[in-house]
Chains A and B, each alone.
Chain A
């Protein structure tokens, strides 16, 4: 059996609050398993414990109780970090370094050097589309560019697990789509991705499996099809259907035990509509959103 990429067993995290008797329970008896090769989405409202979970996996926060493992190694061991890449929410790297210097710096932290480091930096700059901005200081980078250089630094040592905390926070829809495509590309390369987000549409598009946290408790967990499928309903999408045809379908349904719940044009996501409108020539959008 393959080792899970992440395994949390009965993890509880309690943060004491100075001068207050009642501490904050950030996570309560959390059991979580992320299989290797998956894209796993951790969902939840602000303060639900998503970031704390990720930080425990990274060894940045110590659980009060329970155990966290990455590919079978305890996450508080520095050696376990060799197989993990991490992009925090809204990262601020050393602004006085250029994009290339930033990647070289993080590469050196992973003991890369010489030609291997140089080649890896070049590869990653190309992967995230920042080759032309490699010599520019990060102080001149846009939010989207910072996220992309952040993603590149997370990948510098070719990790088997990539942890992304709100990877598209503050990024415009075009940038969001680029990051999404990049994540899917990484999955194709066999990298496990664990991401936290509260952008449900984005998670729905790319994740194989999701867990939903609320008040530090994992309230739902499973594959997207399992979680989102409504077992007793069937969706029928028709193109150019006449009102007569729709009535006929309604009649057919009425003749059985089934009931026509809703009938109307399917809706696109807001992101799709925005991209269609802003990226089409002239900005007017020539075709209907898909």
Chain B
């Protein structure tokens, strides 16, 4: 037997995270990545007729959009089955019969899903940067060839413009926002799955939450403009805002595509908000799962 039980152990959480990640990596989720890769490659061939600014903008738009959609989908699909499957198979019972707290179990499961999302997003980003770099190099070579007779300062200005339209640090900020949004959705899905009767129910609930999350800010503004803001409506709106995150905040990637820089303070605020909600939903999940009969 072991000496002294610790209420929380990263070692135990890491063991559950590792097993969860291995299980998820065997799912067909990586086909999503393949689809994404094909989309990008096909897209770059299609855009050969455009100007380089258009080409890079559309490439970023499609790539970041696809990353956002696929990572959100992956977050929900991968997390929705985690708990029901373990409970159905009685694996949860064998794990929780060991000196493992229910919080450690949930944290390990969620971290496994978040790690999968990180790996998927890293792979998609790597492919995206590769395609963008290849296209950028091609455009640079073409520019040099076409402007071989132009004065050097004109040529260097043209090359600077090409480089500025292609890879830039703002893309990393956009990818970070996409990841934080996916983390939030995964955590929320885990929470829903603690009381949902089936995975399908979890996915349906998440589809509603997704739309409410995107529409709630607009609806709130509209409500406050057309109704007097009494304490009841303010409390109600506050509760809605607390339980349903404003997903519209995470659409800042549109600015990245448009070439606008995201201020560091705004990026920090969004990341903090996303991580707050991720932790908040994990605690909510634990509060339901704590007394769940297995």
Contact = CB atoms under 8 A, between A and B. Distances in A.
Interface of A: 15, 55, 58-62, 78-79, 81-94, 96-97, 105-106, 108-113, 150, 153-154, 157-160, 163
A55 B11 contact: no
Given A60-B293, A94-B19, A96-B22, A106 B98 contact: yes
A58 B294 CA distance: 10
B2 A157 contact: yes
Contacts of A83: 1
Interface string B170-188: 0000000000000000000
A108 B15 contact: yes
Interface string B81-104: 000000001110111111111000
Interface of B: 1-2, 5-7, 9, 11-12, 14-16, 18-19, 22-23, 26, 89-91, 93-101, 291, 293-294
A61 B2 contact: no
B22 A97 contact: yes
A96 B11 contact: no
Given A94-B23, A111-B99, A88 B1 contact: no
A86 B1 contact: no
Given A61-B294, A81-B97, 14 more contacts: A59-B97, A60-B93, A88-B93, A91-B90, A97-B19, A106-B94, A108-B15, A109-B100, A110-B2, A111-B2, A113-B11, A157-B1, A157-B99, A158-B1
Which of A61, A78, A97, A157 has the most chain B CB atoms closer than 10 A to its own CB? A78
Q: Helix, strand, loop or mixed for chain B's interface?
A: loop
A284 to B, nearest CB: 40
A119 B68 CA distance: 46
Given A92-B89, A109-B15, A82 B1 contact: yes
Contact of A91 (B26, B91, B101, B294): B91
Contacts of A61: 293-294
Contacts of A90: 90
A91 B19 contact: no
A111 B94 CA distance: 15
Given A93-B91, A96-B22, A82 B294 contact: no
A15 B179 CA distance: 41
Nearest to B85: A92
A82 B26 contact: no
25 contacts: A59-B97, A60-B96, A61-B293, A62-B293, A79-B5, A79-B99, A81-B100, A86-B93, A86-B94, A88-B94, A90-B90, A91-B94, A94-B19, A96-B22, A105-B15, A105-B19, A106-B95, A109-B12, A109-B15, A109-B95, A109-B100, A110-B99, A111-B11, A113-B11, A158-B1
